Structure 1
Amino acid sequence: MFIRNLWIVSFSVALISSSYYAWFTPSIISRIHDIFSSPSITKAQTSLATSLSTPPINCTSPPPHTCTFYSACLESHFHCGPEGYPLGFGEKFCTKFNMPQNVERLSTKGKDWMWTTMGCLQRALVSELDVPVVSSGLQSSSTEDVCKALEDKAFSTHAPCYLSSGLCSLSLEDWVVIVDIIDIKTLLSSWDAFEGGVDAGKGCLEFFSHKFWRTRGM
């Protein structure tokens, strides 16, 4: 209950702050209704988007607008399996955001934020490829420890990448789309994901507080 209430408070603050940039006009309310009424994305559609990803890449420089880095580089190196961070979170949500039907739901500024964040999250993990991993046909406790360390590192980059890419200056409509794509259940099912969301909300609260006092000349 505490976690649920904390998320609701943090997210509410972030949404209220975002309204500084986008007022609740009838057209926006209608748009929000359309967003949550949109058809859900099937696993088949996600698989298709993944199959259209670019071929093997230079892992030290993930190409923009792609998600191949997670499977071709991180998973190939760490072998964390379908539930590990590379495939179970990184590639999954990168691919989900990258699907045409989701890209089209974002404003121009929202799209710029998405592409910038996507690149930031991948580049932040390039150095992790230097971590030695014991090759084995079976998941060992050592592999699990390394994969957990990778997951912790990855989630620690979420809030900084969201914020540095301009999350706080997005419109309310874009915020609604982003939350809909991620799905609140995802945030509540993982402490690391939840913590990243809270940190992003706190970052935006500080951003708007600074902006408010600056406009008042204080």
Structure 2
Amino acid sequence: MLIGLLATPALAETRYVSDQLEIPLRSGTSTQHRIIRMLDSGTPLEVLEVNADAGYSRVRAPSGVEGWVLSRLLMDIPSARDRLARAEKKLAELQAAERERLENLSNLKSEKGSLEGKLSALLEENSRLKQELMEIRRTASSSLAIAEENKELKNRMLQMEREQQRLAQENEALSDRTKRDWFMVGAGVIIVGIILGLILPRIRVKKRSSWDTL
């Protein structure tokens, strides 16, 4: 009863087993009490009450088992071994993240170099296409000029053919008129000849008759 009265309830808080490899969890507040189990270093324990006179604390392990351990073997922070392990794990994670970052940076640099190469190739291709476009435009301009000149020449040839046809028609009409004029002249000559052929004999007859009367 005295031990029970001296044991003072404590607010539930977490303590850690010290850096010793193992400590006993007992059923009471003395070394005479039975050991319930051994607790590994760094095991988090929930402190239920503290017996300052006996130097023991009643705790609850993560598995739910309750018992008493020496208060001086408990620490407010995790053990150095656990903290070192956590620090090493954190360091390993940081190193892995750094390696991943460096690898990503290397990949980005490689990708950047590839993109710069592609950009250079695209710029060269763009320059070549511009030159080809200028050449095509010059060729197209020359072709258009030639086509326009050919069109003009065709128009002139068409006009000349029309003029030639007109001159041929006029020449044919003139030839027909000339033939008609010559025909008329010939006809007139024939008619004049006929008239002369009719008149001249009479004139001769009259002259003879007049000579005969003399």
TM-score if structure 1 supplies the norm length? Answer: 0.19
Flag the structure with more relative contact order, 1 or 2, with Cα contacts below 8 A and sequence separation at least 6: 1
TM-score if structure 2 supplies the norm length? Answer: 0.19
Q: Which has the larger radius of gyration?
A: 2
- Normalized per residue, which structure has more strand? 2
- Normalized per residue, which structure has more helix? 1
